[in-house]
Structure 1
Amino acid sequence: MQRAMLFLAVLMGACAKNVPPPEPAATASSAPSPESRPEPETPKFEHIYMMPVEQALAEATRLLAQNGWVLKPLEDPKYLLTEWRAAQIGTQSWGWQSDGDFTRYLVAGELLAARKSIVRIFRMKRVSFSNDAEIKALAGGVLGSDSMRMEFFEQSFRRMGAPTDLAQRERDTAPWVELDGAIQGTRDLKLEQDLLLRLETRPSLEALTGTLRLTRDDTFARDPSFYLKRWRQEVQEPCDRKVAGFQPLLQPGLTVLIGEQLGTRESPAAVGDLACEAAKAGHGVTLVLSLPDKEQKRLDAYLKSPGRPGDQDALLHGDFWRKLQQDGRGSRAMMDLIDRARALNAAGHSVAVVAMDTDMSGGKARDAHMAQVVLKHRAARPQDVLLLLAGNVHTRLGDADWDDDFVPLSKHLHERFPNLKVLEVGYAQGRRWGCDVETSGDMICDLMGITPLPELAIPPEAPVALRMLPKLHDEGFHGFLDVGTLSVSLPAIALRGHEPPAPSLMSDAADETAPATPPAPAMRSSPP
């Protein structure tokens, strides 16, 4: 009963605050320290995670443990509750913490749908008061001093043998400290922001078809509404949008690597704008994409075709587009980027599209293979403006923090072309299509949230633009290609049964928000 009342007091006294607005990234880079980030603002809506609630809570558990908090066992798996921990501001006696501030955390997960959840983190605080009568009794040798001395020595020996990870648990609090009384509870926006960064700045997982089982039957499925109609237009590629900041870089032989977050509309569209601008300026263009090189023949045939529906079907008939695990590289936006290159060729420009990837090798062997393909095509067209679009793990010049032996594609190319430019996509918080590993160990490919790290964050209304830095960033890039708010680009094609359910097809930022309100009364009836 006491625990139930405690839970009610926290929830009813909590502010209706929420996770911060777009700020932190979805890259392989590490998040900045909490001290270096600005104070989170109170947002207007709850942030909805595009994942099962148990997966979000599993990451919250790791976050609390890494910050030294010890969880208490609870029957309801949708809640996490830590032990009380004393702030080092009270008095200490014989190694025990006496009066002062005590803090614990309550994490409440709410399931909205199979892959939609909300996680709220409450910081609970109370002030303890010590009763020095027992201290005096022990020190003065009265009122049961023998038993208290025995208890003191027993506790001392227990504490000396306790493992370090149990430090500052409840038993470290002096036995005469009263922990009853009112509790103050508030949403901890900083900790929620840390959780947001952990869950939505994961590297994009890439599934190689050489390791997958493919189905070769009549289950070839394509959304009838997704057929590009550019081929019908009199001017197929007008190149209306200019990319501010790109003109000073344009020159024959320019090499630009763009590191993206897979499965979005905006990144391929912005690269298409760069290709348009270079082609309109009279340059030949080599557009390098992270597609398996076995798709090159289909690419070449499509670039010479009128781009009619039958031509599109022929391009998308390869294994790469038909695999179950669609990781974002085979998105509709990528298909549209290829079609823009075809349209530019139809208008008399010279644009080559190169499939540089492999579907067999992984790790550094894969990046070495991609580099060889790029160098081969670069040698064939040395004066072209070369634009390479890939996941930013492959494009950054910095060292990989997960593998000392990994040599990214960018470093291989930098040895031959020291003047190449590496751009990181700048964006505002949104959604993408990607793959991740769930708590069960299974790979899932679906809609996912994506949040930028501070150095990548831009306002949602920011125009497409290129911003160069005065020097190479520590993570290994020279500037940013700002693309705006990220939105989902669905797979161009998939095996039947893998298509997203109908409601997901139209999911964008508008329907992925919920009012920032306190937990529902139904939650309050289930105390820890």
Structure 2
Amino acid sequence: MHRALAGLVLLLAGCARNVRPPEQAEATQAAPAPVEPEQPKYEHIFLMPPERALAEAAKLLKNEGWVLQPMEDPRLLLTEWRAAQIGTKSWGYQSDGDHTRYLVSSESLSERECVIRIFKMKRVAFSNDVEIKPEASGAIHNRFVGMKRFEDEFRARGAPVELAQRERDTAAWVELNGATQGTRDLELERQLTLILESRPSLETLTGSLKLSRDDSFARDPTFYLKRWKEPVQEPCERKVPGFQPLLKAGLTVLIGEQLGTKEVPASVGDLMCEASQAGHAVTLALTVPDKEQARIDAYLSSAGKPADQDALLGGHFWRKVQQDGRGSRAMMDLLDRARALKAQGRAISVVAMDTDMSQGKARDAHMAGKVLKPRAARPQDVFLVLAGNAHTRLGDADWNDDFVPLSRHVVEKHPDVKVLEVGYAQGRRWGCDVELNGDITCNVMGITPGPVVEIRPQTPVGVRMLPKVHSEGFHGFLDVGALSASLPAIALRGHEPEAPAAEPAKSQVPAAPAPAGSGEAATPRSAP
């Protein structure tokens, strides 16, 4: 965790932004089956301290109009009761309706791992607005006895004392004047998950500061990419269904990236392979500062050996402290695939289009210039532009009315540009975020898709076009499946071989029972 430094520029990259509901028309290519709710086997683990998750849960409840009560236990949130009167008045008695409140409990698994459970708690209370005395005789007495018996039986159903007992103590959130039951509110938990894991990623721009780590260490031989040793360095084995109808000379595709993942750069590499195999020259534009262009060009012309990889990673972009996902191991591998294709005689170019000196719309205008200049010089090239989706979408930015994204500059000159949003399933990424105390932390984070971009984890890589541009400003999807984190390329970890598929994920924990005071067992959530 690093304190924000003076001069560090932060820009919302929008790499996990949600979009509004999809257009009603059918997609030109069959959309994947909708993601139906399933009974998960594991709790969902948030990769953040519990106090951070609880703070967002508190905001969510307050935005819904709930009033929080003070709690001595910092692991809990509790709202006041909210009642809606229902039923009709009869014999002087009337139901006050379902009294509802929310209980949020947190369980810390490690310094930055926690489970959040949200319980919707209910009770039913009765009021008597006329005085009926038990010593009365006749019909009035019989009515009193009948209503009293009914009320007592109804209260007994919830057995609030037994439900709330924990080591013979009644839980703090239970009141003994009505039957109380609590169940997991999975819909509200889903909303909280989207808030916590669909946050726009921060892109850290160093400006004129030298925020480089000391890399005078010796790397283990296992660190280096091994493609340069292979007889055929890049066989381009994986095709991308749905890309062929788009593929033509002069095609320009903008791909809205989820920063810090393995799958997105790998899928863009597949597009590059397929276009070059079809005989097209390909230009790949990346959100790497243009000051790294000379290093990239040198690497593309090299043999890709360990010394060449060290030289590529020598720039400040790769070695800065706040790595935001743009300088990931997967991005390094994408550059290595471009080098391998060029070594086979393919016409491959890479453009470092970003800048560390500008921000906001000035930054996007700079990136657009870096794309449009080679686009004009090489009009027959297939251009693949990879950036955070705030830069690639054609729609208005909801955080800044004056912001003009890269995409709008490009489409003014080339109206036939295609913008693809990444379709993905819940997983993880590497990214940066601001903590409650203002510190910037960069680490593995959970990522949960909104309903428009959500696909099943088993969905194969493919391009899926819409019949018309979406209201948020894209033409289709590049589906990549479930996301996994790609650590910074400079890291000495994160390049180990994949664990065997049969090995259970270390971050998964079995579903825990509901805490005392709830009427049902906890419904589990799946870990990413």
Instruction: Report what 1:478 is aligned to.
Output: 475
- Tell me: CA distance 1:220–1:412, structure 2 relative to 1, closer, same or farther (3 Å): farther
- Tell me: CA distance 1:188–1:383, structure 2 relative to 1, closer, same or farther (3 Å): same
Instruction: Report what 2:96 is aligned to.
Output: 99
- Tell me: CA distance 1:216–1:270, structure 2 relative to 1, closer, same or farther (3 Å): closer
Correspondence 1:333 to 2:330: yes
Correspondence 1:430 to 2:416: no
Instruction: Report what 1:462 is aligned to.
Output: 459
Instruction: Report what 1:19 is aligned to.
Output: none
Match of 1:288 among 263, 285, 294: 285
Distance (whole Å) between structure 2 residues aligned to residue 519 and residue 231 of structure 1: 54
CA deviations 1:31-50 (Å, max 9, x no partner) are 769xxx99844322110001
Answer yes or no: is the 8 Å Cα contact 2:108–2:114 preserved in 1.
yes
User: Residue 517 of structure 1 aligns to which amino acid in structure 2?
Assistant: A
- Tell me: CA distance 1:391–1:124, structure 2 relative to 1, closer, same or farther (3 Å): same
Answer yes or no: is the 8 Å Cα contact 1:74–1:81 preserved in 2.
yes
Offset at residue 454 of structure 1 (A): 1.4
Instruction: Report what 2:349 is aligned to.
Output: 352
Correspondence 1:27 to 2:22: no
Instruction: Report what 1:278 is aligned to.
Output: 275
Correspondence 1:73 to 2:74: no
Mapping for residues 194-205 of structure 1, pairs under 5 Å: 194-205=191-202
Match of 2:392 among 380, 391, 395: 395
Mapping for residues 207-218 of structure 1, pairs under 5 Å: 207-210=204-207, 212-215=209-212, 217=214
Correspondence 1:386 to 2:383: yes
Mapping for residues 229-248 of structure 1, pairs under 5 Å: 229-248=226-245
Offset at residue 511 of structure 1 (A): 2.2
Match of 1:376 among 360, 373, 378: 373
User: Residue 103 of structure 1 aligns to which amino acid in structure 2?
Assistant: T
Offset at residue 217 of structure 1 (A): 4.7
Offset at residue 383 of structure 1 (A): 0.6
RMSD of aligned C-alpha atoms? 3.0
Distance (whole Å) between structure 1 residues aligned to residue 36 and residue 186 of structure 2: 9
SS in 1 for 2:412: helix
TM score, norm. by length of structure 1: 0.80
Answer yes or no: is the 8 Å Cα contact 1:74–1:80 preserved in 2.
yes
Match of 2:505 among 506, 510, 516: 510
- Tell me: CA distance 1:41–1:129, structure 2 relative to 1, closer, same or farther (3 Å): farther
Offset at residue 104 of structure 1 (A): 0.3
Offset at residue 439 of structure 1 (A): 1.1
Answer yes or no: is the 8 Å Cα contact 1:212–1:323 preserved in 2.
no
More helix per residue: 1 or 2? 1
Unaligned runs of 5+ in 1: 1-24, 137-177, 524-528
Offset at residue 89 of structure 1 (A): 2.4
User: Residue 120 of structure 1 aligns to which amino acid in structure 2?
Assistant: R
Offset at residue 262 of structure 1 (A): 0.4
- Tell me: CA distance 1:88–1:112, structure 2 relative to 1, closer, same or farther (3 Å): same
CA deviations 1:294-321 (Å, max 9, x no partner) are 0000000000000000000000000000
SS in 2 for 1:210: coil
SS in 2 for 1:317: coil
Unaligned runs of 5+ in 2: 1-13, 23-33, 134-174, 519-528
Instruction: Report what 1:418 is aligned to.
Output: 415
User: Residue 18 of structure 2 aligns to which amino acid in structure 1?
Assistant: S
Answer yes or no: is the 8 Å Cα contact 1:237–1:344 preserved in 2.
yes
Correspondence 1:226 to 2:223: yes
Offset at residue 459 of structure 1 (A): 1.4
User: Residue 506 of structure 2 aligns to which amino acid in structure 1?
Assistant: D
Offset at residue 211 of structure 1 (A): 6.2
Answer yes or no: is the 8 Å Cα contact 1:262–1:433 preserved in 2.
yes
Distance (whole Å) between structure 1 residues aligned to residue 482 and residue 186 of structure 2: 22
Correspondence 1:452 to 2:449: yes
Instruction: Report what 1:56 is aligned to.
Output: 53
Offset at residue 410 of structure 1 (A): 0.4
Answer yes or no: is the 8 Å Cα contact 1:31–1:197 preserved in 2.
no
Q: How many residues align?
A: 448
SS in 1 for 2:292: helix
Offset at residue 91 of structure 1 (A): 6.6
SS in 2 for 1:342: helix
Distance (whole Å) between structure 2 residues aligned to residue 506 and residue 53 of structure 1: 30
Instruction: Report what 1:404 is aligned to.
Output: 401
Distance (whole Å) between structure 2 residues aligned to residue 450 and residue 39 of structure 1: 18
Answer yes or no: is the 8 Å Cα contact 1:86–1:103 preserved in 2.
yes
Distance (whole Å) between structure 1 residues aligned to residue 517 and residue 87 of structure 2: 37
User: Residue 343 of structure 2 aligns to which amino acid in structure 1?
Assistant: A
Distance (whole Å) between structure 1 residues aligned to residue 514 and residue 182 of structure 2: 13
SS in 1 for 2:430: strand
Offset at residue 213 of structure 1 (A): 4.5
Mapping for residues 117-128 of structure 1, pairs under 5 Å: 117-128=114-125
SS in 1 for 2:287: strand
Offset at residue 223 of structure 1 (A): 6.2
Instruction: Report what 2:112 is aligned to.
Output: 115
Higher relative contact order (CA 8 A, sep 6+): 2
Answer yes or no: is the 8 Å Cα contact 2:284–2:350 preserved in 1.
yes
SS in 2 for 1:510: coil
- Tell me: CA distance 1:47–1:347, structure 2 relative to 1, closer, same or farther (3 Å): same
SS in 2 for 1:330: coil
Mapping for residues 143-158 of structure 1, pairs under 5 Å: none
SS in 1 for 2:18: coil
Answer yes or no: is the 8 Å Cα contact 2:35–2:454 preserved in 1.
no
CA deviations 1:112-134 (Å, max 9, x no partner) are 01111000000000001002136
Correspondence 1:307 to 2:304: yes
Distance (whole Å) between structure 2 residues aligned to residue 280 and residue 135 of structure 1: 90
Distance (whole Å) between structure 1 residues aligned to residue 219 and residue 88 of structure 2: 69
Match of 2:126 among 126, 129, 152: 129
Instruction: Report what 2:11 is aligned to.
Output: none
Distance (whole Å) between structure 1 residues aligned to residue 267 and residue 97 of structure 2: 56
- Tell me: CA distance 1:30–1:238, structure 2 relative to 1, closer, same or farther (3 Å): closer
TM score, norm. by length of structure 2: 0.80
SS in 2 for 1:488: coil
Offset at residue 424 of structure 1 (A): 0.6
Distance (whole Å) between structure 2 residues aligned to residue 410 and residue 401 of structure 1: 16
Answer yes or no: is the 8 Å Cα contact 1:221–1:493 preserved in 2.
no
SS in 2 for 1:50: coil
Instruction: Report what 2:146 is aligned to.
Output: none
Offset at residue 461 of structure 1 (A): 1.1
Offset at residue 88 of structure 1 (A): 4.3
SS in 1 for 2:120: strand
CA deviations 1:80-139 (Å, max 9, x no partner) are 0000001242579xxxx9721100000000100111100000000000100213699xxx
Distance (whole Å) between structure 1 residues aligned to residue 514 and residue 333 of structure 2: 43
Percentage of identical aligned residues = 69
